[in-house]
Structure 1
Amino acid sequence: MTVSRKGSAAVEKWGADLYGDPCRGCGYGWSLTPQEAIQILLGLPAQFRALLDGCTGQEHHPDLSWGPTAYVCHVADNLRAWAEGLAAGVRLSAEVAVPGYDPDLLAKARRYDRIAPAAALWSLERAAAAWSEAVTAALHEDVVLQHAARGVQRAEDVARNNAHDAFHHVWDIRRILEYASPPPSETADQNS
């Protein structure tokens, strides 16, 4: 984790500061409006569904910790966590403190490796819808959250960051599936 000091608290480097603009991996551009980020994210469940069509969810890439289904579960859980934080900050409790979490510990606790792709996709679709509703309301109310590690997170920051997370993991899944299924010409060459 990369941190910088702002005032007396350490703030985790995040967003474009951490990944670059555009993201050095997936190419996500951070200059999107929050509404554009919402639209990108709402289109991603269909992309995840298309990617997981015909895969077991257990495929792996040597440079990545999780398989395709685990990434879908992570995106769903991340969207759900942020939706809860934004909803609380908007109208449910006026609570603006957002705790961080360790995604690897959550993956282990939720047993991502044992969740069926169809179940993960079901969860993602519902999480994306709830997230969109919460982000839209938070943008309208100018909600500003205080994340335990990242510091101040305006609703527009959350929209862009969460859209990047999901977009980035679409890229991760593509990498996994390309690694797990080499092009037919390579397979034919290996069988000769």
Structure 2
Amino acid sequence: MEKWGASLYGNPCGGCGFEWSLTPEEAIRIVEGLPAHGRGLLAGRTGYERHPDLGWTPAAYLSHITDNLRNWAERLAGARLSGAVDVPGYDPDLMAEGRNYNEIAMAAALWSLERAADAWAESVTAALAAGVVLRHATRGAQRAEDVARNNAHDGHHHLWDIERILRCAGQPGS
């Protein structure tokens, strides 16, 4: 069984400080706030800044967060609407390569993240109410509340990565 969540990252997360004991509703609020938080961090920036230890730009991290939210919103909706609870893993690096994340314009990445966060919040809220439990190919049972926390951590952690990039780039405000 693949380690995930607090068992992989620690509690709190050893990198970004994410606290895993939050409620699913708190996780939803975190995700709903990701677009505004990202806009605030990146005001006056290009989105193409780099960090020597990270392969992605800020706009690329926003694009990853977006794709992750879309992926999990779709999986939860599939389970709730059709009973399709078996879900595979996916490789975010292949997704990044396929979509050329580092070439995506920051304004487009922020636009897409806003829409993905809204759709994700709607899907997670409905999945929580329906008691959805997915069967992940490598993680096993993933309750809707587990997905909510995992996705909130992903977004929170990658905004922390963006902050690291901006500090390294010598840009104030991060």
2:85 to 72, 87, 96: 96
Unaligned runs of 5+ in 2: none
How far the C-alpha of 1:182 sits from its partner, in A, is 5.8
Aligned partner of 1:170 in structure 2 is: 159
Aligned partner of 2:45 in structure 1 is: 55
* CA distances 1:97-143 after superposition (whole Å, capped 9, x unpaired): 11111111100101111110000001000000000000000000100
**What TM-score, normalized by structure 2, do the two folds share?**
0.96
After alignment, is 59-68 or 19-28 more displaced? 59-68
Which amino acid is the alignment partner of residue 109 of structure 1? G
After alignment, is 51-60 or 127-136 more displaced? 51-60
Is 1:125 the equivalent of 2:127?
A: no
Paired residue total: 172
* CA distances 1:136-175 after superposition (whole Å, capped 9, x unpaired): 0000010000112211100000000000000001100000
Is 1:82 the equivalent of 2:72?
A: yes
Q: 1:99 to 1:13 in 2, by over 3 A?
A: same
Which structure has the higher relative contact order (CA within 8 Å, separation 6+)? 2
Question: Aligned-pair RMSD on alpha carbons?
Answer: 1.0
After alignment, is 44-53 or 119-128 more displaced? 44-53
Asked which structure has the greater CA Rg, the reply is 1
For residues 144 and 21 of structure 1, what CA distance do their matches in structure 2 show?
23
Local SS of the residue matching 2:45: coil
Question: Percent identity, aligned pairs only?
Answer: 67
**Ranges of 4+ aligned residues in structure 1 off by more than 2 Å:** none
Unaligned runs of 5+ in 1: 1-10, 184-192
**What TM-score, normalized by structure 1, do the two folds share?**
0.87
